[in-house]
Amino acid sequence: MTYSDFLFSKLFMEYNRAYNTDYKDMEYDLLFGVIKDHMENFLASPFNDESESEYNCISNYLSHRFVNMQNQKWIDGLEWIDGDTETEIYIDTNNGKKYQVSISIERDWEGAIEIK
């Protein structure tokens, strides 16, 4: 384990507690993969800036990620989408009306969804 691995993991857990995410109850063997994925995303992100301290870069990334996680709104039945795609969503309302919507879904570098 490198110092960078340790620092990222430690800060990840601190942000996890502070933002009270679903990760807090995750088993350690599963959490390991989540942290590893986040670290790989961080390393490929614009937050990984050599002109800033490693601590600040990681903190900025995690702050951005955990705030976005809290602000995400999920649509029931929409599964994880890997890459850009087009799909149709069928919506049944409580008053019996049904809608069919075609959407284009794109992901940015950190996995956030943009629906057009």
How far is Cα 8 from Cα 58, in angstroms, rounded to an integer?
7
Question: Does residue 88 lie within any of the structural domains?
Answer: no
Number of domain units in the chain: 1
Question: Does residue 96 lie within any of the structural domains?
Answer: no
pLDDT for 14 equals 92
Model pTM score: 0.60
Question: Does residue 109 lie within any of the structural domains?
Answer: no
Question: Does residue 61 lie within any of the structural domains?
Answer: yes
List Cβ neighbours of 7 (8 Å cut-off, separation of 6 or more): 54, 55, 58
Profile the chain (116 residues) by mean pLDDT over runs of 10 residues.
94 88 85 92 91 94 77 45 54 66 60 53
Helix residue spans in the chain (DSSP H): 3-19, 28-43, 54-71
Question: Does residue 42 lie within any of the structural domains?
Answer: yes
CB 11 within 8 A of CB 58: yes
The closest alpha carbon to 39, from 72, 70, 8, belongs to 8
Question: Does residue 27 lie within any of the structural domains?
Answer: yes
Question: Does residue 86 lie within any of the structural domains?
Answer: no
Q: Residue 49's domain spans which residues?
A: 3-71
pLDDT for 54 equals 96
Question: Does residue 66 lie within any of the structural domains?
Answer: yes
